[in-house]
């Protein structure tokens, strides 16, 4: 059971549809990669299939699409380090993932056969972190950092820890849902050895079909090991753009001790236009989810503006304010007042 990396090998396990067969490996940069674990799941779930099998739609460019809408290259202060927000930075540990998601927003980098960062690159980032104490959180991302060997990853984390024991680390990974057997007890023990400040796992699960006995076990290993897990979903047209699907996803994640953190609007990345949900539909979904979900289960709907960074996309519940009397609409649409504290009151 090996990884699938060509249309030919894919066609041996699945009857490919015309739009899948028409995908042209030369039209985009992101190669095919489907882990052995996903082979079964893509045949059973349409939602999983569409996240991993390319179609001809990837080959079209829509007006307003960019290769790098988040201007990450402009914020690359040290090779592979994106310092876009003052207090946190993202380190592109490797371009490799266990499987490539067709909606990947970092396809300018992901799967470009550059491999893991070198020792010198890690050292240069560590030196930058030493000089930039304003960085409180470091995102280990890519690509997927958990495609590295445990020893290799430990060397990297130890290097950052030796210089900044206070740094909060966020391991950004899709491996619990793309290749869950990589979440081993030795990986967890390794992370625990470097727990002088918190280590979070930031995972990506977009549909309830991705939750299997194996992915549940992988998540449990993190949480049991003292590593809190937060989920960052991407809103994907025809896959999870329904209140029922998202409601089930968020509630299931909470039951697994995972906090639904972000629900991302699709970025304006070349080759992903067919996955984008119109903002108006997204706002309606957000409002519907807020009616249906607990505060714990409710993610923040957000978008990364080209050049402008992340902003929350929230329906406003404020209607009006007059002389300290604020008028709101509650989630059910009824109007209520809030009487503000008087400026000169004790
Ligand atoms: C999203 C992102 C972060 C983290 O932002 P949070 O809102 O804290 O999740 C950090 N750096 C970059 C470049 C990002 O894109
Ligand atoms: S796991 Fe993340 S970086 Fe890798 S292909 Fe999927 S979205 Fe892109």
Q: Rounded distance, CA 147 to CA 199, Å?
A: 17
Which residue, judged by its Cα, is nearest atom 1 of ligand 1?
A: 310
The pLDDT value recorded for residue 175 is 98
Q: Which ligand is nearest to the CA of 101?
A: 2
| Residue 242, both tokens | 């329904």
Residue 177: enclosing H or E segment and its boundaries?
helix 175-178
Q: Is the pLDDT at 236 greater than 70, yes or no?
A: yes
pLDDT-based confidence at residue 61 (cuts at 50, 70, 90): confident
Let me know if 216 is a catalytic residue.
Answer: no
The pLDDT value recorded for residue 342 is 80
Average pLDDT, stretch 311-331? 95
Whole-number Å distance, alpha carbon 8 to ligand 1 midpoint, is: 37
Burial class (CB in 10 A: 0-12, 13-18, 19+), 8: exposed
Whole-number Å distance, alpha carbon 4 to ligand 2 midpoint, is: 16
Q: Rounded distance, CA 38 to CA 93, Å?
A: 23
The pLDDT value recorded for residue 161 is 98
The pLDDT value recorded for residue 225 is 98
Q: Is the CB of 271 under 6 A from ligand 2?
A: no
pLDDT-based confidence at residue 343 (cuts at 50, 70, 90): confident
pLDDT-based confidence at residue 345 (cuts at 50, 70, 90): low
The pLDDT value recorded for residue 346 is 61
Least confident of 56-60, 113-117, 214-218: 56-60
Let me know if 205 is a catalytic residue.
Answer: no
- Percent of the residues in the chain that have a pLDDT greater than 90, as a whole number: 91
The pLDDT value recorded for residue 15 is 95
Atom of ligand 2 nearest to the CA of 173: 1
Whole-number Å distance, alpha carbon 32 to ligand 2 midpoint, is: 12
pLDDT-based confidence at residue 1 (cuts at 50, 70, 90): low
Let me know if 250 is a catalytic residue.
Answer: no
Atom of ligand 1 nearest to the CA of 75: 13
Whole-number Å distance, alpha carbon 151 to ligand 1 midpoint, is: 26
Average pLDDT, stretch 132-161? 98
Q: Is the CB of 101 under 6 A from ligand 2?
A: yes
| Distances from the Cα of 278 to the Cα of 108, 134, 239, angstroms | 24, 36, 14
The pLDDT value recorded for residue 310 is 96
Average pLDDT, stretch 47-54? 98
List the one residue out of 170, 173, 175 whose CA is nearest residue 200.
170
Q: Tokens 């010198």 map to which residue?
A: 120
Atom of ligand 1 nearest to the CA of 82: 13
List the one residue out of 7, 71, 75, 1 whose CA is nearest residue 41.
1
Let me know if 84 is a catalytic residue.
Answer: yes
Average pLDDT, stretch 145-165? 98
Whole-number Å distance, alpha carbon 39 to ligand 1 midpoint, is: 31
Q: Is the CB of 121 under 6 A from ligand 2?
A: no
Q: What is the pLDDT of residues 165-180, one digit of tens each?
A: 999 999 999 999 999 9
Which residue, judged by its Cα, is nearest atom 7 of ligand 2?
A: 104
Let me know if 136 is a catalytic residue.
Answer: no
The pLDDT value recorded for residue 67 is 85
Q: Is the CB of 33 under 6 A from ligand 2?
A: no
Least confident of 74-78, 92-96, 305-309: 305-309
**pTM of the entire structure?**
0.96
The pLDDT value recorded for residue 41 is 98
Let me know if 8 is a catalytic residue.
Answer: no
Whole-number Å distance, alpha carbon 284 to ligand 2 midpoint, is: 27
Q: Which residues 6+ apart lie within 8 Å of 5 measured at CB? A: 31, 32, 33, 34
Pocket lined around ligand 1, Cβ cut-off 6 Å:
70, 82, 84-85, 88, 90, 139, 310
- Pairing, β 309-312 against β 300-305: antiparallel
Which residue, judged by its Cα, is nearest atom 6 of ligand 2?
A: 101
Let me know if 267 is a catalytic residue.
Answer: yes
């Amino acid at each position: 059971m090996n990884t699938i990396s060509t249309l030919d090998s894919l066609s041996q396990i699945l009857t490919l549809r015309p739009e899948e067969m028409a995908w042209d490996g030369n039209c985009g940069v992101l190669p095919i990669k489907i882990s052995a674990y996903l082979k079964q799941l893509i045949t059973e779930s349409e939602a999983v299939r569409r996240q991993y099998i390319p179609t001809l739609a990837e080959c079209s460019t829509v007006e307003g699409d960019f290769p790098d809408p988040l201007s990450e290259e402009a914020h690359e202060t040290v090779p592979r380090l994106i310092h876009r927000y003052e207090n946190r930075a993202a380190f592109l540990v490797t371009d490799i993932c266990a499987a490539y998601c067709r909606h990947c927003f970092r396809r300018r980098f992901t799967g470009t056969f550059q491999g893991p960062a070198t020792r010198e690159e890690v050292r240069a980032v560590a030196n930058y972190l030493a000089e930039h104490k304003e960085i409180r959180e470091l995102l280990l991302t890519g690509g997927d950092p958990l495609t590295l060997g445990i020893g290799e990853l430990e060397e990297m984390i130890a290097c950052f820890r030796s210089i900044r024991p206070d740094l909060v680390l966020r391991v950004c990974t899709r491996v619990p849902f793309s290749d869950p057997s990589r979440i081993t007890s030795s990986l967890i023990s390794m992370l625990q050895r470097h727990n002088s400040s918190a280590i979070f796992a930031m995972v990506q699960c977009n549909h309830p079909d991705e939750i299997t006995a194996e992915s549940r076990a992988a998540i449990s290993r993190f949480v049991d090991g003292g590593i809190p897990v937060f989920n960052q979903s991407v809103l994907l047209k025809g896959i999870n753009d329904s209140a029922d699907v998202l409601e089930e996803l968020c509630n299931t994640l909470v039951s697994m001790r995972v906090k639904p953190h972000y629900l991302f609007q699709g970025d304006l990345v070349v080759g992903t236009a067919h996955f984008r949900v119109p903002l108006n539909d997204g706002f309606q979904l957000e409002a519907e989810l807020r009616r249906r979900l607990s505060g714990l289960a409710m993610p923040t709907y957000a978008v990364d503006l080209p050049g402008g960074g992340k902003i929350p996309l929230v329906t406003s519940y404020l209607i009006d304010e007059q002389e300290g009397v604020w008028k709101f609409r509650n989630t059910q649409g009824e109007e209520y007042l809030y009487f503000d504290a008087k400026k000169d009151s004790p």
